[in-house]
Chains A and B, each alone.
Chain A
Amino acid sequence: MAHGFFALAGCAASVAVVALVLLQRRLRKHIDLEVAEETLRRDFDDRIEDSLR
């Protein structure tokens, strides 16, 4: 009984860890895009500023 419960808990834990890893990858991509967007915006502002001079 106890071993069955532990096996079930083990399965749940494995699923949770896989979900966390996948979520981590998605979040990393999302944050990379945020950083990219910020860099593009800054670069665009710099170019506008330079062209106005």
Chain B
Amino acid sequence: MHEAHAPPVALAMGASTTKETRMNSFFQILEMVRPDGETPRATPSLDASGARRALLAITAFLSALALAAVWGVAAGSVPGHLALDNLIKVPLLLVVSAMAALPLALLVHRLTSSRGRGSDLLIGHALGTFVGALVLALLAPLVALYQHSSTWAGPAFALGSAFLAIAVAFAVFIRILGKIHTDGPRRALVAPAGLLLFLQLAALVQLASITTPIFPQRTTLGHGIDAISRTDVEKNE
């Protein structure tokens, strides 16, 4: 029963709805990235309306940008304005690399998968990015500490945290896709998911090479594809 017949419009259009929607999206994201236990919990957002799925993906991706910015500040926490640069640069790298990778992955998904929606791939990617960025943000205090206190361990630790975040993001991406595709063959997802990872990493590394370094010194990965051929790098230096 509804509570004491309060004015329905007031109940329905209460000021708290937007805040509730925002909180619900956040908790749904955290709920969805959990593994299925012995008794699988309902994952309400996976079969929700298009608007809810889109909101979830956008909220996850925008949150990921904010979290990545936190890591960027930590990675650049050396004397100078590197931290401030990284506040913009790291989220920017994430956005541009996603923009470079997603359209082609969506096309490949459309061409190779008879079932499933393109938004499945978008949700998986957004949630994977969110969890990866969350790992980065949680490691940010340690990254900042090492950057401050050690010239050789700082960049290595920061780079390690980035690799860990990429691994976690990919694992979550695969988990979410597995949760969404319960009826069709999962191997149909291998091509778009693998391609998405490859393209995003390729774009990320190359973009990092054409911008100013994120760390105080440019790392091997910071040379982009030229790092494969050391002679090219040496020629440029």
CB atoms of A39 and B51 under 8 A apart = no
CB atoms of B58 and A23 under 8 A apart = yes
> Does A12 sit at the interface, judged by CB under 8 A?
yes
CB atoms of B5 and A9 under 8 A apart = no
The dominant DSSP class at the B interface is: helix
CB atoms of B62 and A17 under 8 A apart = yes
> When each residue 39-63 of chain B gets 1 if its CB lies under 8 Å from chain A and 0 otherwise, what string results?
0000000000101101100110110
- A52 vs chain B, min Cβ distance (A): 14
Q: Give chain B residues whose Cβ lies under 8 Å from the Cβ of A30.
A: 51
Q: Give chain B residues whose Cβ lies under 8 Å from the Cβ of A10.
A: 92, 96
Q: Of A5, A6, A36, A46, which is within 8 A of B17 by CB?
A: A36
Q: Of A3, A12, A24, A46, which is within 8 A of B96 by CB?
A: A12
Counting chain B CB atoms within 10 Å of each CB, which of A31, A36, A43 scores highest? A31
A17-B95, A23-B58 given as contacts; is B8 within 8 A of A2 (CB)? no
CB atoms of A43 and B2 under 8 A apart = yes
> Does B229 sit at the interface, judged by CB under 8 A?
no
Tally of B interface residues using CB under 8 Å: 31
Q: Give chain B residues whose Cβ lies under 8 Å from the Cβ of A28.
A: 18, 21-22, 55
> Does B30 sit at the interface, judged by CB under 8 A?
no
A6-B210, A20-B58 given as contacts; is B11 within 8 A of A12 (CB)? no
| Cα(A20)–Cα(B18), bound, Å | 17
| Cα(A45)–Cα(B175), bound, Å | 40
- Which chain A residue shows the least CB distance to B92? A13
CB atoms of B210 and A31 under 8 A apart = no
| Cα(A46)–Cα(B49), bound, Å | 25
| Cα(A21)–Cα(B55), bound, Å | 10
Listed by A's residue number, 23 A-B pairs whose Cβ atoms lie within 8 Å are A2-B210, A6-B207, A10-B92, A13-B92, A13-B95, A16-B99, A17-B62, A17-B65, A23-B58, A27-B55, A28-B18, A28-B21, A31-B51, A31-B52, A31-B55, A34-B49, A35-B12, A35-B17, A37-B12, A39-B8, A42-B2, A43-B8, A46-B2
Which residues of B pack against A, CB within 8 Å? 1-2, 5, 8-9, 11-13, 17-18, 20-22, 49, 51-52, 54-55, 58-59, 61-62, 65, 91-92, 95-96, 99, 207, 210-211
